Amino acid sequence: PAAQRTKLAKVINFIGKRVLVHGWIHRLRLQKGKAFIVLRDGTEYIQVLLSGDLAEAYQTSTLTLESTIAVYGTVEKLPEGKTAPQGVELVADYYEIVGLAPSGDEAFTNKVQENADPSLLLDQRHLTLRGETLSSVMKVRASLLRSIRRVYDELSITEVTPPCMVQTQVEGGSTLFSLNYYGQDAYLTQSSQLYLETCLPALGDVYCIQESFRAEKSHTRRHLSEYTHIEAELSFLTFDDLLTHIETVIVKTIQYVLEDPISGPLVRQLHPEFVAPKLPFRRMEYIHALEWLNENGIKNEDGEEFKFGDDIAEAAERKMVDTLNVPILLTRFPVEIKSFYMKKCADDPRVTESVDVLMPTVGEITGGSMRIESLDELVAGFKREGINPEAYYWFIDQRKYGTSPHGGYGLGTERILAWLCKRFTVRDCSLYPRFTGRCRP
Ligand code: 4AD
Ligand code: MG
């Protein structure tokens, strides 16, 4: 009978029918008179049974993991008690080898050893990517991006694509990657925020999903040199509106990821005890976070009690959010430890209308703020940070030609995924992670 060509995720629709499938040999068990193959094509897995002449054939004994094959056969539902992916088996009547893989490389795919040298595994990323865990995280990642685009769409926020090659900094000169741009100095963007601000008068509220680059010198669990930055900018709103918007976007996005028929089950598999965040998040001011840290005996970077103006470093931040074990909107950071563009609080000019969203196990996943509206105040901000405002004329113009109260934020895609999929490091949430010293494959 004729065979219907199908992807593995659709095989389930052809029970009792003859199909043609293609894929990579994910697992292989050769027995006398039988061969069991778990085939993978990226959409799903399926068990293929070769028996009789097919199993006896000379070439069956040469099959290796990661070889590609084309298989014709009939889809059969497995009886209760027998387990295989999707509860079905493809009983093959014919197959062909498309590309025979050498034996040995499978160690990097199916059976990635827990204690293998991480740098060796990263060198073989193109192969480890084929493994079940990493490919699951990448599917959740795709769903996360799809879901957040859906949320922005529902909020009538317009997507834009700002440039990656720029001549301005956003988050401090120390993490800039420089490049020679036809003989001029340029950088890889640290954040698209300033460009998003220029879109407000033209397009209304906007967002982008764009790579950001940071020359982070330290090795940490949550810093990459290149990461996928989801940023949004909104005008004519208050700081409180911004906080409500941020928590709503996060809650809705996670809800969509969990409702999705592909990513929902994957999250539950990767992170069985994951608790979906609920509205509203706990709000906590920076000053009260310092009190909490001091009451709990956690020290600052100098090993002393926290005092106003101290940065809350990664370890302390994580300790606090892990202990409280709920999402936290941490607000009102001091001017000195935040960026030049942040608006000061009307009731206390020592602090800013700024927010970090902290999640258990990861800490900061989002940073945002209201922006300075007044031209003079912005110029003072540049001066304080020692930034030459010349290259920022276009950003400054936003305050000249119809300024507005506005604010926005950036979400780190890999950090959200580390939290959602329970990965120890953001490196496990990036397709080809770049961090200090690594720029391959
Ligand atoms: O807190 P950050 O530096 O804020 C900004 O860049 C703002 N200009 C965003 C805005 O308001 N439009 O970065 C925002 C988020 C962080 O909360 C974190 O999740 C992520 O980006 N992030 C990183 N993720 C991975 N590796 C790094 N080196 C990161 N640096 C920041
Ligand atoms: Mg930040």
Instruction: Check pLDDT > 60 for residue 106.
Output: no
Instruction: Check pLDDT > 80 for residue 259.
Output: yes
* Nearest atom (ligand 1) to Cα of 216: 28
Q: What is the pLDDT of residue 62?
A: 87
pLDDT tens-digit map of 334-373: 999 999 999 999 999 999 999 999 999 999 999 999 999 9
Residue with CA nearest ligand 1 atom 31: 412
Q: What is the pLDDT of residue 303?
A: 93
Instruction: Check pLDDT > 90 for residue 41.
Output: yes
- Find the radius of gyration of the CA atoms of the chain: 26
Residues 396 and 425 sit within 8 Å (Cβ to Cβ): no
State in Å: Cα 429 to ligand 2 middle: 19
Instruction: Check pLDDT > 90 for residue 116.
Output: no
pLDDT tens-digit map of 55-96: 887 777 889 999 999 999 999 999 888 889 999 999 999 999
d(CA 385, CA 14): 65
State in Å: Cα 355 to ligand 2 middle: 9
Strand partners, 4: 19
d(CA 46, CA 48): 6
- The rounded percent of the chain whose pLDDT value lies above 90 is 86
User: Candidates 227, 361, 416, 420: which one to mutate for ligand 1, based on the most atoms within 8 Å of Cβ?
Assistant: 227
For residue 112, name the pLDDT band (cuts at 50, 70, 90): low
Containing 192, the helix (H) or strand (E) segment is: none
Structural domains of the chain ordered from first start: 4-103 (2.40.50.140), 125-429 (3.30.930.10)
Instruction: Check pLDDT > 70 for residue 180.
Output: yes
User: Candidates 234, 364, 385, 420: which one to mutate for ligand 1, based on the most atoms within 8 Å of Cβ?
Assistant: 364
Phi, psi torsion values for 235, nearest 5 degrees: -120, 165
Residues 248 and 281 sit within 8 Å (Cβ to Cβ): no
d(CA 204, CA 160): 11
For residue 115, name the pLDDT band (cuts at 50, 70, 90): low
Q: Other C-beta atoms within 10 Å of 51: how many?
A: 15
State in Å: Cα 151 to ligand 2 middle: 23
For residue 39, name the pLDDT band (cuts at 50, 70, 90): very high
Q: What is the pLDDT of residue 80?
A: 85
Q: Give this prediction's pTM.
A: 0.95
Q: What is the pLDDT of residue 420?
A: 98
SS3 141: helix
Rounded to the nearest integer, the mean pLDDT of the chain is: 94
d(CA 157, CA 137): 27
Q: What is the mean pLDDT of residues 45-62?
A: 87
Q: Other C-beta atoms within 10 Å of 321: how many?
A: 24
Q: Which residues of 421-438 are buried (b: 16+ CB within 10 A; e: fewer)?
A: bbbebbbbbbeebbbeeb
d(CA 188, CA 162): 12
Q: What is the pLDDT of residue 109?
A: 54
> Measured on CA atoms in the order 122, 125, 128, 133, is the torsion positive or negative?
positive
Q: What is the pLDDT of residue 403?
A: 95
State in Å: Cα 177 to ligand 1 middle: 15
Instruction: Write the DSSP symbol of residue 24.
Output: E
Q: How far is CA 106 from CA 43, 83, 129, in A?
A: 20, 23, 12
pLDDT tens-digit map of 277-333: 999 999 999 999 999 999 999 999 999 999 999 999 999 999 999 999 999 999 999
d(CA 380, CA 115): 52
pLDDT tens-digit map of 185-197: 999 999 999 999 9
pLDDT-wise least confident of 76-85, 139-148, 173-182, 334-343: 76-85
pLDDT tens-digit map of 378-400: 999 899 888 999 999 999 999 99
Q: What is the pLDDT of residue 55?
A: 84
Residue with CA nearest ligand 1 atom 10: 409
Which residue's entry shows tokens 């490919």? 135
**CA proximity to 438, closest of 229, 129, 226:** 226
State in Å: Cα 364 to ligand 2 middle: 7
Name every protein residue with a CB atom under 6 angstroms from any ligand 1 atom. 170-171, 191, 193, 214, 216, 223-224, 227, 229, 231, 364-368, 408-410, 412, 414-415, 426
d(CA 293, CA 312): 9
User: Candidates 415, 419, 426, 429: which one to mutate for ligand 1, based on the most atoms within 8 Å of Cβ?
Assistant: 415
Residues 6+ apart with CB under 8 A from 50: 34, 35, 36, 37, 60, 92, 95
Torsion angle of the four alpha carbons 153, 154, 157, 161, in this order, in degrees rounded to the nearest 10:
-20
State in Å: Cα 325 to ligand 2 middle: 20
Q: Which ligand is nearest to the CA of 414?
A: 1
For residue 219, name the pLDDT band (cuts at 50, 70, 90): confident
- Tokens matching residue 359: 């999640």
